[in-house]
Structure 1
């Protein structure tokens, strides 16, 4: 079984209202974005995410490489910035503003990536739920966009219930980590540590400012 040194995580994302706590850790010679659940609702969400990733494949969608009991989703860590680093303290869209200043060609390429990924999602019988700018992890160096934190996507059609679309500000960690991430000093922007207050900039998983996968 994979050992995850959460106590020595280099990034921690615990200011999400979703009930999930995520970590940036190093294990087996690699960096990972580890997403865990702390409530019944967040456990259902992560189980739904595991089912989604088992059914959908696309190079731009960050998917977990390991699904452990709990459930715990272990995503590869990706550098980048979450375009909306949403937490219980508010939203940081500085990465979005930076993205909007890119050459039109780069922006169009990113949008094409989002649309192409959703063709694969549709082909697998899933529909988008809770898609917003916090689901976009952008690597400004590589000019590459990845999708993270698609935990609420569901097979369609389905009946909407009160739990179907949680507050977007309460989904992933500073989404700049793998699942969501961008840098390690204080993460994600995948995917998304030192207890609680470390953040690179939001990925994984995960994480935005720059660093959820989530």
Structure 2
């Protein structure tokens, strides 16, 4: 079958779509210097620099992207629906929303640019290169001292305690939702579009997300998705940044046995064996940190 994809050129940046789309509007925001076109969400994102040198990150829905098999209108509705989350959950560890507006049949969300690199760089370093290539952001992050990685986790945990306090549940949170600035050693959560107001029940069977970080109830139609679910997600991300990801043995863990025991409890397949809230999990985690040799947190 003949490939009918079209190549779009914007300055020095090119990318492919399923069909022609009008991006003239983005010139009002500035010069496109980077594009992220391979998300399966139906969104396409741009790094844009204005005339005064200010950089912004623009997420746009409305074009027919290669990795999305749904209708652009569905992606538009999801992006618009998620905007309030960035406003309500404004936090130092979340990328900052600056503006949002309709553009023709599409929708654009404009964020402050954060000079970080995505820890699941599927476009440039798909697995297994993600885990082994010396230039992969994930590989480089895993070479950092454990103290710096723990600080990143603490910031991620703080944000999700805040999420919990605001009666919201994290959905589709994984290492692809994390940006890390290797110069200033700062972390940001960058994608909360699928987070949901409580109460939230699994109406899909397999929810959105990466199975590497998902709890059993995120595969079970009708199951409640709540703080106990997010305890699993936080434990799983700890294994992703400090351990062997799905290999949760202590031999692959970099941060001592006390923290390993807490992470193992958090990712128990049995909900009743996990911590009852993200706040409770973080409390035990911090206590273990402070009691560890050298107070590594």
User: What's the TM-score, normalizing by structure 2?
Assistant: 0.51
- C-alpha distance after superposition, 1:108-167 (max 9, x if no partner): 100000000001111111101011000110001101111101111111121223398435
User: After superposition, what is the alpha-carbon deviation per residue over 1:160-183, rounded to whole angstroms, capped at 9, x for unaligned?
Assistant: 2339843559xxxxxxxxxxxxxx
Map Cα deviations across residues 38-59 of structure 1 (whole Å, 9 max, x no partner).
2122112212320111211210
2:116 is aligned with 1:71? no
- Aligned match of 1:33: 57
Indicate conservation of the 8 Å contact 2:115/2:181, yes or no: yes
Q: Secondary structure at the match of 1:47?
A: helix
Is this contact kept in 1: 2:119–2:176, CA < 8 A?
yes
Q: Closer, same or farther in 2 for the Cα pair 1:102/1:31, shift >3 Å?
A: same
**How many residues are matched?**
167
In the alignment, structure 1 residue 13 sits paired with structure 2 residue 49: no
State the 1:19 CA deviation: 0.8
Superposition CA RMSD, Å: 2.5
Structure 2 distance, partners of 1:167, 1:88, is: 20
Matched residue, 2:204: 162
Query: Structure 2 unaligned runs (5+)?
Result: 1-24, 63-71, 131-135, 212-297
Q: Is the radius of gyration larger for structure 1 or structure 2?
A: 2
Cα distance change of structure 1 residues 74 and 96 upon mapping to structure 2, 3 Å threshold: same
- Deviation per CA, 1:15-67, whole angstroms, max 9, x where unpaired? 22211111111226311111110212211221232011121121010031101
Q: How is 1:19-168 mapped onto 2 (pairs within 5 angstroms)?
A: 19-27=42-50, 29=52, 30-38=54-62, 39-69=72-102, 70-87=106-123, 90-91=126-127, 93=130, 94-162=136-204, 165-166=207-208, 168=210
Partner of residue 230, structure 2:
none
Label 1:27 to 1:99 Cα distance change in 2 as closer, same or farther (>3 A). Answer: same
Partner Cα separation in structure 1 for residue 168 and residue 150 of structure 2: 24
3-state SS of 2:26 partner: coil
Change in 2 beyond 3 A, CA 1:90/1:103:
closer
1:72 to 1:163, Cα distance in 2 relative to 1, 3 A: farther
In structure 2, distance between residues paired with 1:165 and 1:88 = 25
- Looking at structure 2, the residues matched to 164 and 51 of structure 1 have their Cα atoms a distance apart, in angstroms, of 25
Greater CA drift, 56-65 or 129-138: 56-65
Q: Give the number of the structure with larger relative contact order, counting CA–CA contacts within 8 Å between residues 6 or more apart.
A: 1
Structure-1-length-normalised TM-score:
0.70
1:31, 1:96 → 2: CA distance?
Answer: 24
